[in-house]
Amino acid sequence: MALQFIYSHEDFLTDVQRSNDKTTKTSAPFDAVIQDGWTERMEKGLFRYKLNDLQTHILPGNYGYVAQLNIQRGIERRKPQEILSIQQEFNHKQFNFNKINPDEIICEMTKCENSRDGLNDTTTRKMIVLVNVSPLEFGHCLFVPDPLQCYPQVLTKFAIEIGIESVFLSSDPGFRVGFNSLGGFASVNHLHLHGYYLDHELALESISIETLLPEKHFHRLINYHAGFVFYTEVKSIDKVAENICRVTDFLVNHNIAHNVFLTRGCPPHNDKLSEMENSSRKGVRIFVWPRKSCFGAKEESALNVALCELAGHLPFKNKMDFEKATEEGVTEIINKYLLPKDEFVTLEQHLIEHLSKS
């Protein structure tokens, strides 16, 4: 039986700061469960390869891209499923997370809510956390909602809520969560999110964003890869998760692939922050990138453009591309997968109208 990780609203951490002082870092109970469980399974040999310290460097430039060399993931990872549509139905015959080795499961997450009579009551919805056997980084795990329900790879409000709550449960500003849609380099058509630790600051944590609909917590990225941003603190998780899913549902219904990335971040701003404001990570930024669909397309030799690449974390497949990488060259690759400017502007107007209706 899987370890039970039960949490409540009181376990959320709202005073996390971005600091270079690693001696002060303490692990929250959530981090201990994920990191200890992940390390134990790595030592047991359940992974496709041993993840040692990855060779890492920051590319010079405005975006502070974090480049890492991860050759074995490119070689050893499971072959992606054939994806033909963003709305492709779940196929029981293909690999799915009900077919994994049960030892890969780290825990089962359940949120404890306060019922009307004042007693604690656990929800019946389950989130299974299992190791990704072809890890990108330390602690790389998968969040799979109610796996026996066999949901296809389309975001649900419950999935995004747990994704946001997981970030709030972590005391580490380097814990990230993400989602790839079908056509956006998702390799398994069974609803899941990725979670992992990256001990390097990303520009997205504090980059300027422009507000589009303040009442919907809906913003646009400025001077970065064209995409949308939601920001939430603990009190607005439910409302923000609902609005995020209204956007991703719209994208699915219009056959637009997308990638989603969640990280601790500063509140929305479009000007320079004070040092204290710049280090604050009391909220979560959620990025949604609409993009061109990739169905059976030839993969890039250097890297695939999915959730972490769009966020500025670049796992390179080979040493040559890793060593010669430049911000300009990486940005050129990424731009090939994003929507043309005119399509993005039109989509933005449609989403503003769509979100404004409720």
Distances (CA, A) of 46 to 23, 49, 81, 131, 322: 31, 9, 21, 9, 27
Q: What is the pLDDT of residue 20?
A: 64
For residue 73, report the phi and psi dihedrals to the nearest 5 degrees.
-60, -40
Average pLDDT over residues 70-99: 87
pTM summary value: 0.94
230-287 pLDDT, tens digit per residue, is: 999 999 999 999 999 999 999 999 999 999 999 999 999 877 766 666 777 889 999 9
Residue 25 pLDDT greater than 70, yes or no: no
Q: Are 166 and 175 in contact (CB under 8 A)?
A: yes
Q: What is the pLDDT of residue 300?
A: 67
Residue 139 pLDDT greater than 50, yes or no: yes
Q: What is the pLDDT of residue 119?
A: 42
Phi-psi region of 139 (alpha: psi -120 to 50; beta: other; left: phi over 0): left
Query: pLDDT-based confidence at 112, cuts 50/70/90?
Result: confident
Q: What is the pLDDT of residue 58?
A: 97
Q: Select which of 192, 219, 225, 258 is catalytic.
A: 192
Q: How many CB atoms lie within 10 A of CB 100?
A: 18
247-263 pLDDT, tens digit per residue, is: 999 999 999 999 999 99
327-336 pLDDT, tens digit per residue, is: 999 999 999 9
Relative to beta strand 193-197, strand 209-213 is unpaired
Active site residue 192: yes
Q: What is the pLDDT of residue 144?
A: 98
Average pLDDT over residues 53-64: 95
Determine the distance from the C-alpha atom of residue 275 to the mean position of all C-alpha atoms in its chain, rounded to a whole number: 26
For the stretch 119-152, what's the b/e string if a residue is b when 16 or more beta carbons lie within 10 angstroms of its beta carbon? eeeeeebbbbbbbbbbbbbbbbbbbbbbbeebbb
Percent of the chain with pLDDT over 90: 78
Residue 322 pLDDT greater than 70, yes or no: yes
Average pLDDT over residues 208-229: 96
Residue 10 pLDDT greater than 80, yes or no: yes
Which domains, ranges and CATH numbers included, belong to the chain?
4-18+26-356 (3.30.428.70)
